């Protein structure tokens, strides 16, 4: 902490005691309490959070098309620059997906072979519960 920037002055009106010294750490420049300044800032953010959110929403709404366009251009450019990587990735994904699907089909077949009863329809189950 630089001594030029801060000094220990009289206790501020909110009683922000600095490390039990009974004094308040203040900005040399403004002679104002650092803690008060911080709290003022948090209060400001709290009070204005709604407005900030609304502003962001409004900004997004107003710039949606622009942003979407930019994203489209970016993805196009990205695709052009990474064609090989993307197609490799797609091939890899398809191969993985295929294996996964085959695995699923295998387990499904095994399950149908092992089960002697036919799977019940939900309606039948409902009727049984009622009786
Ligand atoms: Zn204070």
Digit-coded pLDDT (tens) for 9-36: 999 999 999 999 999 999 999 999 999 9
Cα(first)–Cα(last) distance of the chain, in Å? 80
Residue 25, beta-bridge partner list? 8
Question: CB–CB of 37/16 below 8 Å?
Answer: no
Total residues belonging to the chain? 131
For tokens 């399950």, what's the residue?
Answer: 111
List the shell of residues around ion ligand 1, using CB closer than 5 Å: 12, 14, 16, 33, 35-36
**What's the CA-to-centroid distance between 34 and ligand 1, angstroms?**
6
Ligand 1 center from residue 116 Cα (angstroms):
78
0.85 surpassed by pTM: no
């Amino acid at each position: 902490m630089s001594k030029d920037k801060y000094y220990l002055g009289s206790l501020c009106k909110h009683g922000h005691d600095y490390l039990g010294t009974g004094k308040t750490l203040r900005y040399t420049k403004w002679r104002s309490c650092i803690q008060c300044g911080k709290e003022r800032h948090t209060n400001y953010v709290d009070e204005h959070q709604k407005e900030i959110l609304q502003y962001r929403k409004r900004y997004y709404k107003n710039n949606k098309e622009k942003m979407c366009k930019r994203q489209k251009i970016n993805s196009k450019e990205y695709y052009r620059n990474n064609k090989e990587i993307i197609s490799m990735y797609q091939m890899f994904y398809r191969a993985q997906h295929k294996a996964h699907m085959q695995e699923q089909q295998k387990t499904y077949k095994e399950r149908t072979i092992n089960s002697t009863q036919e799977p019940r329809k939900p309606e039948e189950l409902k009727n049984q519960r009622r009786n």
